[in-house]
A and B are shown apart, each in its own frame.
Chain A
Amino acid sequence: MAKQRRISAGSRVFDYFNYFLLALLALITILPFIHVVGSSFATSAEVARTKFLLFPTEFSLKAYEYIFSTDTIFRALGVSVIITVGGTLWSMFFSTLTAYGLSRRDLVGRRAINFMIVFTLLFNGGMIPTFLVVQQTGLLNTLWALVIPVTINAFNMIILRSFFMNLPAGLEESAKIDGANDFSILFRIVIPISLPAIATISLFYAVTYWNTYMHAILYLADADKWPVQVLLRQIVVLASGMNYDAEAYSDVPPPEVTVKMATIVVATVPVLLVYPFLQKYFAKGALLGSVKG
């Protein structure tokens, strides 16, 4: 760039510092993940020997063989996949319908309904009353408890709504003249041209569902219904005896370090696999949300 040809010495020193600090920051952020992935593929002996292991010298799949040798992890992964795929579809269906309906400016009562939804972001009944409702609606100890009580995330719905509101109004008008009803306008016209926003919000939901932990410990009593995050916690944190509920597990020998590392990787990899897509859409979605939120 011609403008910046003349750079003073002070400015250059500033640049070096800035680049160095940012590179360091990125490195510090990412090193723990590399350490965990590296250790999960190492032998226990090497992990014990090496202080800061990033890339194993002896490659070993032992930890993975161990965790995949029982049904437990398959069951947990299965639960996570089911609620992630099913939950995302479920949430997107209802969020899209609600968002589109509320994006229509001629809707009588729209302001009141909007306020009613936004208010839930400022105040809510809290953990125990919500638990009692989940219990009374018969969801307790079923996988539905991880999905139905979080059907619509008000923030996500608002992002979608503002996206729909910014679509050109003429589209709907012309479709209406052609005699299309509101449902076919939504599914044949609005959704196809809103795919970037739909993708963004779907990913928001998918990551939330994959990372579900709190609702599982609140609503699910049976261990065979636990998603992978709960299992991960059992293996890594509880096995150490540092938590309240640790007594129940104290007779189980603590798993080896490499096994803990491998479990972390298994719980993380699906998110990392979609990360390239996530990054592209999430930044946009986060902005949409913050502007209109």
Chain B
Amino acid sequence: MESTTLTAKEESKQVKRMKRSETWRKVKRNKMIYLMILPGLIYFLIYKYLPMYGLIISFQDYKPYKGISESEWVGFEHFTRLFTSSEFWMIFKNTLVLFGLQVFIFFPIPIIISLMLNEVRHSFFKRGVQTLIYIPHFMSWVVIVSISYVMLTLDGGIVNAIVDSLGFEKINFLLNDAWFRPMYILQVIWREAGWGTIIFLAAITAVDPQLYEAARMDGANRFRQMWHITIPAIRNVIIVLLILKIGDVLELGFEHVYLLLNASNRNVAEIFDTYVYVAGLQQGQFSYSTAVGFFKGIVGLIMVVFANWLAKRFDEEGIY
């Protein structure tokens, strides 16, 4: 029979063809599904990927009336300008300091609150506290900053009224560069610390109660139980969230910082995002500000990849 004398080559060709037609059949069978995801795909292409293509204007002297195709190429000029600018190190340092505050001051707080909540035995008390501390998360930064403002302002703000009644001189928190960083991190804590407990509390719930029972038998007090059982149990979650935080290194909240920024605290409050906004949209330096944003984005990407690699090295799961 002829069919049995097919060479191996021809056979594999046929298998390939069959596979291809199999794939094609699957595609055809799911054509309605492709129709469903099409609008979403178009959205991501236009509003997420087209801007990535737009990053090439950071190598041009982009003029809006000329467009990308007609604008002149200038190579790394804008990056050189950024790195040699006297403001670069100020912005770099400000960004780094706020990042440090996020990691070292803010990050442990939800963990501590979760551990405290976990020790509460009356569930109505626990739920009550949770209900209240979640609230600020749903407020916009405008509301958070506005409330801080009416409380901290010089005339009529309750904080200064208290400072005054204690016999100290009133402090102009809002226009004082020494108070910007504490104010920033306190607002972050106020808005996010409560909400941040959710994930840790969920991880704690998964701990086997028998472990505590056994520890109690061995005479471990509550701190020891916390230290030897609860914390190791949520270690994984802590590490994953820390990676996410590090990956967010330069996402310090444009809105938040922009709302707090003013001429008197600019030397500590100007970060890459606010700098991009002012240079780009207020002063119209599109190419230069795009270069600044590009630099920030690349550093952010490197940090995520690095953090993930670090986690894998420590034999944790990583995030992707």
Residue positions of A touching B, CB distance < 8 A: 1, 3-4, 8, 10-11, 14-15, 18-19, 21-23, 25-26, 29-30, 32-33, 35-36, 39, 47-48, 51-53, 94-95, 97-98, 100-102, 104, 106-108, 113, 116-118, 120, 122-134, 137, 148-149, 151-152, 157, 181-183, 186, 207, 210-211, 213-214, 218, 229-230, 232-233, 236-237, 240, 242-244, 257, 260-261, 263-264, 267-268, 271-272, 275, 278-279, 282-283, 286-287, 290, 293
Nearest CB of A to B47, in Å: 5
- Check A10–B221 contact: CB distance below 8 A: yes
Instruction: State the CA gap A214–B27 with chains docked (Å).
Output: 41
Choose one: A26, A39, A134, A244; the contact of B132 (CB below 8 Å): A26
Asked if B1 CB lies within 8 Å of chain A CBs, one says no
If A23-B129, A108-B27 touch, whether A264 touches B146 (CB-CB below 8 Å) is: yes
Residue in B closest to A289 when the chains form the complex, CB atoms: B199
Q: Indicate whether A48 sits within 8 Å of B156 (C-beta atoms), given known contacts A26-B133, A98-B40, A132-B286.
A: yes
CB-CB < 8 A to B23: which residues of A? Answer: 108
Known: A29-B133, A94-B43, A126-B293. A232 touches B125 (CB 8 A): no
* Contact (Cβ within 8 A) A22 B55: no
A218 and B281 form a contact (CB under 8 A): yes
**A128 is contacted by which of B140, B143, B286 (Cβ under 8 Å)?**
B286
| CB interface residues, B 26-40, toward A, < 8 Å | 26-27, 30, 32-34, 36-37, 39-40
Q: Which residues of B contact A104 (CB under 8 A)?
A: 30, 33
Q: A25-B133, A32-B151, A51-B162 are in contact. Are A122 and B47 (CB under 8 A)?
A: no
A29-B194, A137-B46 known; A21+B27 contact, CB < 8 A? no
Contact A233 B146 (CB under 8 A): yes
Closest Cβ of chain A to B232, distance in Å, is 19
B161 interface neighbour in A51, A117, A126, A218, Cβ under 8 Å: A51
For the complex formed, measure the closest distance between the CB of B287 and the CB atoms of chain A, giving whole angstroms. Answer: 9
CB 8 Å contact bits of B34-69 with A (1 = contact, 0 = none): 101101110110111111111101000000100000
Of the candidates B125, B129, B135, B261, which one forms a contact with A25 in the assembled complex, judged by CB atoms under 8 Å apart?
B129
B124 within 8 Å of A (CB atoms): no
Indicate if B234 sits at the interface (CB-CB under 8 A): no
Main secondary structure of the interface of A (DSSP, over half): helix
Bound together, the chains give a CA A149 to CA B51 distance in angstroms of: 11
Cβ–Cβ contact B116 & A18, under 8 A: yes
Convert B56-85 into 0s and 1s, putting 1 for each residue whose CB lies closer than 8 angstroms to a CB of A. 010000001000000000000000000000
Contact residue among B139, B199, B254, B281 (Cβ-Cβ distance under 8 Å from A286): B199
Q: In this complex, what residue of A is CB-closest to B258? A: A214
Question: What chain B residues lie within 8 Å of A23 (beta carbons)?
Answer: 129
Q: 23 A-B contacts, Cβ less than 8 Å apart?
A: A14-B222, A25-B129, A51-B158, A97-B40, A107-B34, A116-B44, A116-B49, A120-B48, A122-B304, A124-B297, A128-B280, A128-B286, A129-B53, A129-B55, A132-B51, A214-B258, A232-B143, A240-B149, A242-B175, A261-B150, A263-B146, A264-B146, A264-B147
Which of B44, B138, B147, B194 is within 8 Å of A152, CB to CB?
B44
Cβ-defined partner of A126 (8 Å) among B146, B195, B296: B296
**Residues in B whose Cβ lies below 8 Å from that of A244:** 261-263, 278
In the bound complex, what is the Cα–Cα distance between A29 and B145 (angstroms)? 14
- Name the B residues within 8 Å of A218 (CB-CB): 277, 281
Q: Which of B27, B34, B52 contacts A124 (CB 8 A)?
A: B52
Cα A132 to Cα B37 in complex, Å, equals 25
Central interface residue in B43, B258, B273, by most chain A CB within 10 Å: B43
15 further A-B contacts with Cβ under 8 Å, apart from A125-B49, A257-B150, are A11-B221, A29-B190, A30-B132, A32-B151, A102-B37, A122-B304, A125-B293, A126-B276, A126-B297, A132-B64, A133-B51, A148-B43, A211-B143, A237-B149, A240-B153
Tell whether B88 is near chain A: CB-to-CB under 8 Å.
no
**Contact digits for B173-197, partner A, Cβ 8 Å, 1 yes 0 no:** 0110000000000000010001100
Instruction: Give B contacts to A, CB under 8 Å.
Output: 23, 26-27, 30, 32-34, 36-37, 39-41, 43-44, 46-55, 57, 64, 113, 116-117, 119-121, 125, 128-129, 131-136, 138-143, 145-151, 153, 156, 158, 161-162, 165, 174-175, 190, 194-195, 198-199, 202, 213, 221-223, 247, 254-255, 258-259, 261-264, 273, 276-278, 280-281, 286, 289-290, 293-294, 296-297, 300-301, 304, 319-320
